Amino acid sequence: MANLDGTVHDIAALSQPRIRIITTRDLHEALLRGWDDFKAQPSHLVFIALIYPVAGILLAQLTVSYNIFPLLFPLLSGFALLGPFAAIGLYEISRRREKGMDTSWVHAFAVLRSRSIGQIALLGAMLTGLFLAWLFSAWFLYRGLLGLPADVSTTDFLRAVFTTADGWIMMVIGNAIGLLLAILAFSISVVSFPLIIDRHVDAPTAIRTSIAAVEANPRVMMYWGLMVTGLLVLGCLPMLVGLIVVMPVLGHATWHLYRKLVD
């Protein structure tokens, strides 16, 4: 297995890894192993995972403070698109624990010194672009269908969304766009970041491998996507605090899923 001291030559030289066929049992095993990783270093992982709910709460506060309440749902739901990028430190902790190495919290940031950091940043920029595309789509859709004043109250906004035809059209089209972007983000990132961290492949190879994993296991990966979505929804209750546990567990489970999927 490659370590964090791989060279740029190593990144270019590796061919696309082979994909295994997995079952739903593998998903449950990956989730259980993610939970074991969390229990092994809960204080460290909670510290790292605080970034996710705190950022979500800040986004929600900014949305309300600057009277852009219509973007609250797109912000919170679209923020999940960045989850695989936010969890890179957790993948490194799982990698080190798997090899019997020291797993103190400082090693979660060792990936920032990796020769692959450029590839990680490139893939992260792609997910950020999808996140921004979701926000712009939601905003243009809202302005085109409802076009409420900038200082609209929360009550008036919710009434327009849930009691008017335009509001229902906006929800249907908006959620359809969000679903397509979520499927795209999931397909290109489900194993990409762990693969880059583990083997130092380039971003295009990681993306091709991730898409191949989804194509080879469509039903199982759809089930995994639903599991992740359900756990993230539960983690948002109450006030995103549950993400302090859900985020690291899913991050570690993703590492173990990668190990099952990629030969």
Burial degree of 200 (CB within 10 A; 0-12, 13-18, 19+):
buried
Q: What pLDDT sits at residue 236?
A: 74
Q: Give Dmax (Cα) for the chain.
A: 59
Number of folded domains in the chain?
1
Backbone angles phi, psi at 251, to 5 degrees: -60, -45
What are the residues facing 19 on neighbouring strands?
Answer: 262
**pLDDT tens digits in sequence order for the chain, 263 residues long:** 444 433 333 444 456 788 999 999 999 999 999 999 988 876 555 555 566 666 666 666 666 655 666 777 787 777 778 888 888 888 988 988 898 887 776 677 777 788 889 999 999 999 999 999 998 998 888 888 887 776 777 788 888 889 999 989 999 999 999 999 999 999 999 999 999 999 999 999 999 999 999 999 999 999 999 999 888 888 777 666 777 788 889 999 999 999 999 98
Residue 86 lies in a domain: yes
Q: What pLDDT sits at residue 10?
A: 41
Residue 224 lies in a domain: yes
Residue 2 lies in a domain: no
Local structure of 261: helix, strand or coil: helix
What are the residues facing 262 on neighbouring strands?
Answer: 19
Residue 7 lies in a domain: no
Residue 115 lies in a domain: yes
Comparing C-alpha atoms, which of 34, 60, 81 is closest to residue 250? 34
Rounded-to-integer distance, Cα 256 and Cα 131, Å: 26
In terms of phi and psi (left: phi > 0; alpha: psi -120 to 50; beta: otherwise), the region of 22 is beta
Neighbour-count burial for 159-182, b at 16+ CB within 10 Å, e otherwise: ebbeeeeebeebeeebeebbeebb
H helix runs in the chain, sequence order: 8-13, 24-40, 42-49, 51-65, 72-78, 83-86, 88-98, 117-145, 154-163, 165-189, 192-199, 203-216, 218-235, 243-261
Comparing C-alpha atoms, which of 254, 263, 234 is closest to residue 246? 234
**Host domain of residue 51:** 18-261
Rounded-to-integer distance, Cα 70 and Cα 106, Å: 38
Residue 181 lies in a domain: yes
Residue 77 lies in a domain: yes
Q: What pLDDT sits at residue 1?
A: 42
Residue 190 lies in a domain: yes
37, 94 Cβ separation under 8 angstroms: yes
Tell me how crowded residue 122 is: count the other CB atoms within 10 A of its CB: 16
Q: What pLDDT sits at residue 19?
A: 94
